[in-house]
Amino acid sequence: MSGTLYVVATPIGNLEDISYRAVRILQEVAQIAAEDTRHSRKLLNHYGIDTSLISYHEHNEKSRSPQLIAKLQAGESLALISDAGTPCIADPGYRLVSSCRQHGVNVVAVPGASALVAALSISGLPTDAFRFIGFLPAKTHGRCQVLQQVKDVTDTVACYEAPHRLAACLVDIAMVCGVDRQIAIARELTKRHEELFSGTVGEAQEYFAASTVKGELVLLLAPAPPRQPEGTIVEALQRLRQETELSWKEIVKQVAKEFGVSGSEVYKQSLELR
Ligand code: SAM
């Protein structure tokens, strides 16, 4: 019988943000794979956990995974943690989890804090659908390329950003998405200086220019406004009739969606064409 890999979330600031189950699992497993063992030892000491640690980070992921798989296959249960929050979310872990799945090793989530979800939950932006793009590229060229890809996304777009890059990042967001786009910026969540800025990109530039930005950040860009379709409803019907094999019913449905009007409204206008 192989052991289980527990993917355990740890706090993103406030040390009380850990579950009873997480503490128990971290105490019970044979070993804990951690990004930075010195950092995690302090965390474990806080909860009185004396389980041994083994390093697992982006630079040794490839070589470490087979060693951990061998331990799991020998029947040991292990936990995977990152420096903060949920492992595998803009953090190492994916390779190990994927390898466990390939080797038939059981993987269990012990959920908890994640900066992404915490920021979304208090942002006031739509959360029914969102797109997480991890860290934005550090340089303007790469950053603008990524922003171009998401500027028309009609869901909330979330990313992580370093404080010293915020000003440059806001300049690029303003250029690509416009100064009037709504943005929420969550800073130092669960910590003493926690704040949530909410306003337009232009207002964010002004607000954060006032002092040196410190701490950890999550940026949330409001969904792009739906694109105004070109031409009239009748022209759109005509175009789809000529250019596609869609049935009349499907054409009416598609045009109604495009123009944000009811099917019966489109149908009424379609009578002109027919
Ligand atoms: N896996 C982690 C998670 O689930 O939240 C994220 C790891 S990623 C390497 C670290 C980034 O998450 C930070 O640079 C920052 O952008 C964001 N972050 C982490 N803790 C945060 C906090 N307390 N407040 C705001 N953002 C935070």
pLDDT tens-digit profile of 22-75? 999 999 999 999 999 999 999 999 999 999 999 999 999 999 999 999 999 999
Of the candidates 80, 113, 146, which is a domain's last residue?
113
How high does pLDDT run on average in the chain? 95
Whether residue 215 sits in one domain with residue 188: yes
The residue with tokens 């959920």 is 111
From ligand 1's centre to the CA of 90, what distance in Å?
A: 8
From ligand 1's centre to the CA of 70, what distance in Å?
A: 31
Whether residue 166 sits in one domain with residue 143: yes
User: What is the position in ligand 1's atom list of the atom closest to the CA of 86?
Assistant: 4
Query: How far from chain centre, in Å, is Cα 53?
Result: 28
166, 121 Cβ separation under 8 angstroms: no
Whether residue 212 sits in one domain with residue 159: yes
From ligand 1's centre to the CA of 247, what distance in Å?
A: 49
Model confidence at 274, in pLDDT bands (50, 70, 90)?
low
Whether residue 55 sits in one domain with residue 95: yes
Whether residue 102 sits in one domain with residue 122: no
Separation of alpha carbons 208 and 202, rounded Å: 10
Residue 173 lies in a domain: yes
Q: Quick check: 256 pLDDT over 80?
A: yes
CA angle 10, 14, 19 (to 5 degrees): 45
Nearest to 8 by CA among 74, 71, 93: 93
Is the CB of 13 within 6 Å of ligand 1? yes
Residue 226 lies in a domain: no
User: What is the position in ligand 1's atom list of the atom closest to the CA of 194?
Assistant: 24
Q: Supply the CATH number for residue 55's domain.
A: 3.40.1010.10
Separation of alpha carbons 104 and 107, rounded Å: 9
Residue 8 lies in a domain: yes
Lowest-confidence range among 142-146, 182-186, 253-257? 253-257
Range of the domain at 162: 116-221
Is the CB of 84 within 6 Å of ligand 1? yes
pLDDT at 230: 83
Is the CB of 82 within 6 Å of ligand 1? yes
Handedness of CA 225, 231, 232, 236 (dihedral sign): negative
Helices (H) and strands (E) in the chain — how many of each?
11, 10
The string of pLDDT tens digits covering residues 160-201 is 999 999 999 999 999 999 999 999 999 999 999 999 999 999
Residue 228 lies in a domain: no
> Looking at the chain, which runs of residues are DSSP E strands?
4-8, 31-34, 52-55, 78-81, 106-110, 130-135, 156-161, 182-187, 195-200, 217-221
Is the CB of 237 within 6 Å of ligand 1? no
pLDDT at 27: 98
27, 110 Cβ separation under 8 angstroms: no
Q: Supply the CATH number for residue 190's domain.
A: 3.30.950.10
Whether residue 102 sits in one domain with residue 180: no
Q: Quick check: 272 pLDDT over 90?
A: no
User: What is the position in ligand 1's atom list of the atom closest to the CA of 160?
Assistant: 16
Separation of alpha carbons 188 and 195, rounded Å: 7
Residue 130 lies in a domain: yes
Whether residue 194 sits in one domain with residue 173: yes
Whether residue 144 sits in one domain with residue 103: no
The string of pLDDT tens digits covering residues 67-117 is 999 999 999 999 999 999 999 999 999 999 999 999 999 999 999 999 999
Residue 82 lies in a domain: yes
The one-letter amino acid at 175 = M
Beta-bridge mates of residue 81 = 34
Separation of alpha carbons 256 and 266, rounded Å: 6
Is the CB of 186 within 6 Å of ligand 1? yes
Whether residue 9 sits in one domain with residue 41: yes
Model confidence at 143, in pLDDT bands (50, 70, 90)?
very high
Of the candidates 113, 146, 175, which is a domain's last residue?
113
CA nearest ligand 1 atom 13, residue: 216
From ligand 1's centre to the CA of 4, what distance in Å?
A: 26
Of the candidates 78, 113, 148, which is a domain's last residue?
113
Whether residue 238 sits in one domain with residue 206: no
Whether residue 132 sits in one domain with residue 106: no
- Whole-prediction pTM: 0.87
Beta-bridge mates of residue 130 = 156
The number of domains in the chain is: 3
What are the CA-CA distances from residue 40 to residues 11, 52, 147 (Å)? 11, 11, 34
Handedness of CA 81, 82, 84, 87 (dihedral sign): negative
Separation of alpha carbons 16 and 19, rounded Å: 8
Helix (H) or strand (E) holding 232: none
Q: Is 198 helix (H, G, I), strand (E, B) or coil?
A: strand
Is the CB of 116 within 6 Å of ligand 1? yes
Whether residue 217 sits in one domain with residue 254: no
The string of pLDDT tens digits covering residues 221-251 is 999 987 778 889 999 999 998 999 999 889 9
- Percent of the chain scored above 70 by pLDDT? 100
Helix (H) or strand (E) holding 77: none
Residue 227 lies in a domain: no
